[in-house]
């Protein structure tokens, strides 16, 4: 018998991680450079700001769902169900997921701030987070911060996905976990 609530939680958790990572990766390596084909640097900024600030809602819900399902699942177990190696992986996932949530929130706030630095979010950019010589100083600083935070955030999300895979493999190989999971909702 498959625990329905636990299985649903795992699916939502993984979908949240996939949407957050995939959307952020797409924006970083595809959207940001693609705006270079727009001749006006102000229109590039407007398109980039509108796209990212539109995705931020999806990203917040996705990563928030991943974090909430993880926290809910963790709250239902004592920790005695796992060995020391698995406990280390759980703590690593806690740290990486916490960093992902914090960096995501910081990126959302920074993106919202950046969009206010010019009328209609038309902050001049070369590419997504690359300022031009005409970019206001505060906006250029925000872009640089967003650029660095987004790289670290992608690395953290990749880490969460990797650790999640390791935890799933360890759970599948654990006879103790197999017994405990039969009693989960």
pLDDT tens string 52-82: 999 999 999 999 999 999 998 888 776 677 7
Task: Quote helix, strand, coil % in the chain, to nearest 5.
Answer: 80, 5, 15
Rg (CA), the chain: 20
pLDDT tens string 103-159: 999 999 999 999 999 999 999 999 988 999 999 999 999 999 999 999 999 999 999
pLDDT tens string 5-54: 467 888 999 999 999 999 999 999 999 999 999 999 999 999 999 999 99
Question: What is the Cα–Cα distance from 55 to 71, expressed in whole angstroms?
Answer: 24
């Amino acid at each position: 018998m498959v625990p329905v609530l636990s299985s649903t939680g795992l699916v939502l958790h993984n979908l949240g991680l996939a949407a957050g990572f995939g959307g952020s990766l797409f924006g970083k390596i595809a959207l940001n450079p693609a705006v270079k084909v727009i001749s006006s640097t102000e229109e590039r900024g407007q398109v980039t700001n509108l796209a990212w600030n539109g995705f931020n809602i999806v990203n917040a819900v996705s990563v928030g769902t991943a974090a909430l399902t993880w926290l809910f699942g963790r709250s239902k177990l004592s920790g005695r169900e796992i060995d020391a190696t698995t406990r280390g992986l759980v703590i690593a996932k806690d740290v990486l997921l916490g960093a992902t949530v914090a960096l995501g929130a910081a990126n959302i706030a920074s993106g919202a701030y950046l969009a206010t630095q010019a009328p209609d979010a038309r902050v001049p950019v070369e590419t997504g987070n690359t300022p031009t010589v005409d970019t206001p100083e505060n906006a250029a600083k925000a872009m640089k911060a967003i650029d660095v935070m987004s790289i670290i955030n992608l690395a953290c999300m990749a880490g969460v996905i990797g650790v999640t895979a390791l935890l799933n493999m360890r759970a599948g190989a654990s006879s103790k976990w197999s017994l405990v999971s039969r009693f989960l909702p």
